[in-house]
């Protein structure tokens, strides 16, 4: 089963609005990552947050991590049409050997 599970599964917003996605996981982690996948492409790493961090920013992205609730959120501010993609969270724990477990993805459509 997937370690990370994103919520909501699909999101449609207007350009300029903010998009928020959540991810929950089941076991202890060392870090949590978010990836983006454009249609027909491979996944691209966006941001990594470690278990001792609570919030991290990268450009228009803001990630929070709550290890007590085993959850993370990804916020994209001032969305653009180019942000249309699927977003995956991935955690490193539960398997050992440094594997990543990916969630099923969260599809975001930004309407121009």
H, E, C per residue of 6-61: EECCEEEEECCCCEEEEEECCCCCCEEEEEEECCCCCEEEEEEEECCCCEEEECCE
Find the shortest distance in angstroms from Cβ 101 to other proteins: 8
The single-letter DSSP state of residue 34 is E
Residues that bind other proteins (CB under 8 A): 2, 30-31, 33, 35, 41-45, 48, 88, 92, 97-105
- Cβ proximity to other proteins: between 48 and 75 the closer is 48
Q: Which is nearer to other proteins, 23 or 43 (CB)?
A: 43
Nearer to other proteins among residue 2 and residue 15 (C-beta): 2
Report, in Å, the least distance between residue 77 CB and other proteins: 23
Q: How far is the CB of 91 from other proteins (least distance, A)?
A: 10
User: What gap in Å lies between CA 71 and CA 109, rounded to an integer?
Assistant: 23
């Amino acid at each position: 089963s997937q370690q990370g599970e994103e919520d909501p599964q699909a999101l449609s917003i207007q350009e300029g609005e903010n998009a928020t996605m959540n991810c929950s996981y089941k076991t202890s982690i060392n870090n949590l990552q978010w990836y983006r996948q454009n249609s027909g492409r491979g996944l691209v790493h966006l941001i990594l947050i470690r278990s001792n961090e609570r919030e991290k920013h990268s450009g228009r992205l803001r990630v929070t991590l709550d290890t007590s609730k085993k959850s993370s959120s990804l916020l994209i501010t001032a969305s653009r049409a180019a942000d249309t993609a699927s977003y995956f969270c991935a955690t490193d724990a539960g398997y050992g050997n440094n594997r990543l477990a990916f969630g099923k993805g969260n599809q975001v459509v930004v309407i121009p």
